[in-house]
Amino acid sequence: MRRVVKFFQFVILTVALISCNLSDFQLNKLATPTGLSPIIYRPILSATYAVKDYAVVKEMSNAPFKEDSLVFSLLPGYPLDGMALNTTGNDSVTVIIKTLNESPMKYRYTLSISGTVLNSGSKQKYLSSATINTQGDVIENSRDSLEYHLSATDIVNLGQANQFNLSITLYQPDKGPVLANVLKESSLSFLIGMRARINLFKMKG
């Protein structure tokens, strides 16, 4: 009797396997490196910075801001303690920086990790100022989103990093007055993260 039961179990299992569509298991993906390369996202920073907390604006009240530019550091040597960046198995890393500019001036920023500048390609590009009216008041903020693809050397440096720096330079806009009090009360926001493709075959056990 047991042999009969086992025979029927074998027949049922055989029929089930024959009726299966092997493509459903996607075995071809498991046999190639590309099938084992997930993409992960890592947030680094989300913060808003008021100009008056980081820069000195000498002009008083509603007097025009006369300087051509204003340079200040937002995060000088910000420690990465407790959030070390493990780059083992990273085939590619992209730095994503989103900004919100509420100031009446256009700007450039520099993001570096342990001395390695991650957004070196942005040095020649001005990012837009907020829109101001004829009285110098901000009527619409400016948003920007940039991505920077790191080289193999940058990825290695990233894995050894223990701090990062974020500095910014504000410049006079192409048109419209910049009033000192409007500039001092304005702010800039940064959302910084990383997107990486991981090769599981390179991960250490």
SS3 call for 178: coil
Residue 135 CB-half CA count within 13 A: 3
Q: Residue ranges per domain, the chain?
A: 35-202
pLDDT of residue 119: 67
The mean pLDDT of 77-100, rounded to a whole number, is 74
pLDDT in tens, 25-69: 444 544 455 556 778 788 888 899 999 999 888 888 789 999 999
- Run of H or E including 168: strand 163-171
Q: Per-residue confidence at 84, pLDDT binned at 50, 70, 90?
A: low
Looking at per-residue confidence, does 181 or 18 come out higher? 181
In this prediction the pTM is: 0.73
pLDDT in tens, 153-205: 777 777 777 777 888 999 999 888 899 999 999 999 999 888 888 776 665 55
Q: Which residues share a beta bridge with 194?
A: 42, 95
At residue 136, does pLDDT exceed 60?
yes
pLDDT in tens, 99-131: 999 999 999 988 887 667 776 655 556 889 999
Comparing CA positions, the residue from 67, 46, 64, 83 lying closest to residue 161 is 83
pLDDT of residue 75: 81
Amino acid at 44: I
Classify residue 181 as exposed, middle or buried by CB count within 10 Å of its CB (0-12, 13-18, 19+): middle
Contacts of 191 by beta carbon, 8 Å cutoff, 6+ apart: 45, 46, 97, 98, 99
